[in-house]
Amino acid sequence: MTKSILVVNGPNLNLLGTREPEIYGAETLDDIKFKMIEKAAEHDFTIHFVQSNIEGELVDFIQTARTDHDAIIINAGAFTHTSVAIMDALQAVDTPTVEVHLSNIYKREEFRHKSYISGVAVGMIAGFGSLGYLMAVDAIDDILN
């Protein structure tokens, strides 16, 4: 049966393409979405792709994974470094999760080195730009099959 991956994007990722392109690249979030849909089709996965700038909305999206999705890929943006609520939601849904960051957060400011997501994710991919999202789909294939 076709499996469903929930892809959750946090604050300011809606500005990709124009937001600090030297750090985050020139692609828009829609570009990433369409590449992921193609990649997921190779594995017979469907992608449900969402973005919000609001922490509680991200929690609501994550909670839908309990009944509607088989895995989660998440780039929580700045909430990565602050949000106990997002960490708790991921723990509560008990759905295999891969954390993604476009930039290598360990090469950047000290406050970006702490991730609340990492402790509840299967693993993290950081520093490969949009390729990281596609690598995460391959990782999910490995985890689910």
Dist CA 125 CA 93 (whole Å): 21
Output the CA torsion sign for 72, 51, 54, 75.
positive
Question: Near ligand DQA by CB under 6 A, which window of 58-66, 75-83, 116-124, 136-144?
Answer: 75-83
Q: Check if the beta carbon of residue 102 is closer than 8 Å to that of residue 70.
A: no
Q: How far apart are CA 97 and CA 118, in angstroms?
A: 9
Is 116 a known active-site residue?
Answer: no
Among 112, 118, 131, 138, binds ligand DQA (CB under 6 A): 112
Q: Which of 5, 90, 101, 116 binds ligand DQA (CB under 6 A)?
A: 101
Shortest distance, position 64 Cβ to ligand DQA, whole Å: 21
Asked if 24 and 103 count as a contact pair (C-beta separation under 8 A), the reply is yes
Q: Which is nearer to ligand DQA, 39 or 101 (CB)?
A: 101
**Which position among 69, 101, 116, 133 bears the catalytic label?**
101
Distance of CA 110 to the CA centre of its chain: 21
Residue nearer to ligand DQA on the CB measure, 48 or 112? 112
E strands in the chain: 3-9, 45-51, 71-75, 97-101, 123-126
Q: Which of 39, 49, 59, 77 binds ligand DQA (CB under 6 A)?
A: 77
Positions annotated as catalytic residues are 24, 101
Binding site for ligand DQA (CB under 6 A): 12, 75, 77-78, 80, 101-103, 105, 112
